[in-house]
Amino acid sequence: MLKRLGRLGLFLVLAIQISGCAGAALVAGGAATAGAVVWVKGKLEQELSVPLPRVYTATLAALKQFELPIQEEKKDQLVARVESQLANGKRVWIDIRSLAESSTKITIRIGVFGDQSKSRRLLEAIRRNL
The CATH number of residue 108's host domain is 3.30.310.80
- Exposure of 30 in the CB half-sphere (CA atoms within 13 A): 21
Statement: residue 20 has pLDDT above 80? no
Q: Angle at the Cα of 12 (from 10 to 15), degrees rounded to 5?
A: 110
Residue 122 burial (CB < 10 Å; 0-12/13-18/19+)?
Answer: buried
pLDDT range class, residue 35, cuts 50, 70, 90: confident
DSSP letter assigned to residue 102: T
Inside any domain, residue 12: no
* Number of independent structural domains in the chain: 1
CA distances from 97 to 31, 45, 57, 82, 90 (A): 19, 11, 14, 12, 23
Q: State which residues form the domain around 36.
A: 31-128
Can you tell me whether residue 41 is helix, strand or coil? coil
Statement: residue 126 has pLDDT above 90? yes
Question: Residues 82-102: what's their mean pLDDT?
Answer: 97
- Residue 98 has phi, psi (to 5 degrees) of -75, 125
Inside any domain, residue 23: no
Quick check: 127 and 32 in contact, CB under 8 A? yes
Inside any domain, residue 15: no
Q: pLDDT, tens digit, for every residue of 48-69?
A: 999 999 999 999 999 999 999 9
